[in-house]
Amino acid sequence: MEFKKTYIAGLLFDETLKKTILSLNNGKLNAFTTLRNPKEVSDQVWLSKHIFGKTNYQIEPDLWRLVVTARHISQDYEIYVYSTVTKLKFSEDPSYRIVNVNKLDNTIPPIYRWIIPLSCDPSVLSSQYNQVIIR
C-alpha cells in the first residue's frame, strides 16, 4: 500500500535510558520528525542529517534501530520510528527539551507516550524490533 506521506522519526536516549530529547513545536513535544527523503538515501542517513541540523548532535547512521512502523490509513500517512542511545550530554535548547522517560505528560502526543518506553527497552534497542501498527 502506498501512502501520500511517509515520515521518519528519531528518538535519542542517554546512556541511562532515563532521558530523551524531544523537538518542541508550537508548545508540543515530539520525536524529531521529517518527511522521508525521496532520493536514494537510507532513512538512517537522512535522520542523522535532520537531527544534526536541529540539534548539532552527530549520530552515526548505523546506530539507529527501527522500532515501530505506524500506518494511519484514514489520514493516508505512515511513520517509521527509529531510536538510538548516545553518550552525548544533552543540553537545553529553545527548539527541544530533555524529557524524563518515566514522566511523559500530555504535551507529548499519545502515540509517543507508548513508543518512548518501548523504544528505550534494552531488549528492543539491541535488536531490529519493528512493530507494525495500523489504524
In the chain the domains, ranked by start, together with CATH numbers, are: 5-134 (3.90.79.10)
Segment 86-109, tens digit of pLDDT: 887 777 788 889 899 999 988 898
Q: How far apart are CA 50 and CA 44, in angstroms?
A: 10
Specify the pTM: 0.85
Segment 44-95, tens digit of pLDDT: 999 999 999 988 889 999 999 888 888 877 778 888 899 888 887 777 788 8
**Helix/strand/coil (H/E/C) assignment for every residue in 77-129:** EEEEEEEEECCCCCCCECCEEEEECCCCCCCCCHHHHHHHHHHCCHHHHCCCC
